[in-house]
């Protein structure tokens, strides 16, 4: 659309670490809807030359005081999300916050209130909604070929014996640990597909020697008789399929893939042919029961594209459309995390009030 090109959103990237460089910068760079005017880097110059004409901010206040900046994208450590998002909103900026949105539900609700008062757009980067694997799962479920869904399993497993190189994720404190990190993705996907559960039970643990934050979790979300299980471990040398959906007349099994992150890590850009396309061998299998017995069908995976988030965000900022992920949706994820920690501590099922 012509108006997309003529009205790019002036954007500041609040910072240029792994998240900013891999999950945000490539999509902003290729989109005519955005003009990145600057990047926050307190001491380094990693973003120099990446965005044409962009400056390097040394202090957050430089962004908040820059009248040209319309949108701030917060990709800083989890414990700082609330503070930086709040100050950006108070400065009258539209804001995108990397997941997890906040540490507490109270913080999430307050940010939503401030955004409403300031009449600015607030969204949260739950980008895994736009992965090829999840888009395929969602399409299969919406097609009703499985019948009534009675059980689902979502897994995000990795293998790493020692700590990673992101110290803020490995140091005990608010928002650290695997449940806030990987769990945010899986919980968001479960809520998007199945809605708010009635209750949950959680098992959270530190499995590896020398690790100080939780690196294993298994949550069971309860919807009447239906069960949705969410699991992650860092001790998976080999993995079982990341998604298993069981219905009354069919089952869909799908391996979890990470195509876009791998492509961006290799330096490819989202406008590269084949972006977000899974290898054929990663396609899911639909097994269903019909009049002629049991049949198996290979389901071609949907294409993934995190850039869709930014297309939808542009429509929200310029045209008043709903944001791609609402603050309320993201706060519901944090609520599940809070109740999961409570369930683990008390070793019992925790009820979840209806909204």
Q: What is the pLDDT of residues 197-238, one digit of tens each?
A: 999 999 999 999 999 999 999 999 999 999 999 999 999 999
Give the Å distances, CA to CA, from 27 to 31, 50, 318.
6, 12, 18
The pLDDT assigned to 236 comes to 95
Q: With beta carbons less than 8 A apart as the criterion, state whether 255 and 236 touch.
A: no
The pLDDT assigned to 292 comes to 83
Name the one residue in this structure whose structure tokens are 């069971």. Answer: 220
The pLDDT assigned to 3 comes to 47
Q: Residue 217, exposed/middle/buried by CB under 10 A (0-12, 13-18, 19+)?
A: buried
Confidence of residue 4 (pLDDT cuts 50, 70, 90): very low
pLDDT at 182 > cutoff 70:
yes
Q: Give the chain's radius of gyration (CA, Å).
A: 21
pLDDT at 6 > cutoff 70:
no
The pLDDT assigned to 355 comes to 60
| Cα 165 to Cα 162: distance, rounded to the nearest angstrom | 10
| Tokens found for residue 282 | 């990663």
The pLDDT assigned to 353 comes to 81
- Taking residues 113-127, what's their average pLDDT? 98
Q: What is the pLDDT of residues 245-298, one digit of tens each?
A: 999 999 999 999 989 999 999 999 999 999 999 998 899 999 999 888 899 999
Domains of the chain: 2-127+308-324 (3.40.50.720), 136-257+271-301+336-351 (3.30.360.10)
CB atoms within 10 A of CB 205: 13
3-state helix, strand, coil in the chain (%, to 5): 35, 25, 40
For residue 168, what is the enclosing H or E element?
helix 167-170
Which of the 8 DSSP states describes residue 271? T
- Give the global pTM: 0.95
* Diameter of the chain measured on Cα atoms: 68
Give the Å distances, CA to CA, from 53 to 20, 47, 271.
18, 11, 21
Q: What is the pLDDT of residues 18-71, one digit of tens each?
A: 999 999 999 999 999 999 999 999 889 999 999 999 999 999 999 999 999 999
The strand pair at 34-40 and 55-57 is best described as parallel
Q: What is the pLDDT of residues 295-347, one digit of tens each?
A: 999 999 999 999 999 999 999 999 999 999 999 999 999 999 999 999 999 99
The pLDDT assigned to 164 comes to 79
């Amino acid at each position: 659309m012509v108006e997309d090109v003529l009205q790019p959103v002036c954007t500041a990237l609040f910072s240029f670490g792994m998240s900013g460089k891999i999950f945000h910068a490539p999509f902003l760079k290729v989109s005519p809807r955005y003009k990145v005017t600057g990047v926050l880097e307190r001491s380094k110059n990693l973003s120099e030359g990446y965005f044409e004409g962009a400056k390097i901010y040394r202090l957050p206040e430089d962004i908040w005081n820059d009248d040209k900046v319309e949108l701030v994208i917060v990709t800083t450590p989890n414990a700082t999300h609330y503070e930086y998002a709040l100050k950006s909103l108070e400065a009258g900026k539209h804001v995108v916050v990397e997941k997890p949105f906040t540490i507490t539900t109270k913080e999430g609700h307050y940010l939503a209130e401030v955004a409403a008062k300031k009449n600015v757009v607030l969204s949260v980067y739950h980008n895994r909604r736009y992965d090829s694997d999840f888009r395929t799962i969602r399409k299969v479920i919406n097609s009703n070929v499985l019948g009534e869904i009675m059980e689902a399993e979502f897994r995000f497993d990795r293998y790493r014996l020692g700590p990673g190189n992101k110290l803020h994720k490995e140091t005990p404190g608010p928002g650290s640990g695997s449940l806030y990190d990987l769990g945010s993705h899986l919980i968001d996907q479960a809520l998007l597909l199945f809605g708010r559960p009635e209750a949950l039970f959680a098992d959270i643990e530190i499995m590896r020697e020398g690790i100080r934050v939780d690196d294993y979790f298994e949550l069971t979300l309860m919807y009447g008789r239906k069960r949705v299980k969410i699991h992650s471990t860092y001790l998976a040398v080999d993995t079982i399929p990341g998604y298993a959906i069981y219905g009354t007349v069919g089952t869909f099994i799908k391996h979890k893939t990470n195509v876009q992150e791998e492509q961006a890590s290799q330096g490819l850009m989202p406008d590269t042919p084949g972006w977000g396309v899974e290898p054929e061998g990663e396609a899911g299998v639909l097994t269903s029961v019909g009049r002629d017995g049991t049949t198996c069908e290979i389901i071609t995976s949907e294409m993934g594209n995190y850039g869709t988030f930014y297309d939808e965000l542009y429509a929200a900022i310029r045209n008043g459309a709903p944001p791609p992920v609402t603050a309320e949706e993201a706060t519901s994820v944090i609520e599940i995390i809070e109740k999961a920690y409570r369930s683990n501590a008390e070793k019992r099922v925790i009820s979840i009030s209806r909204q």
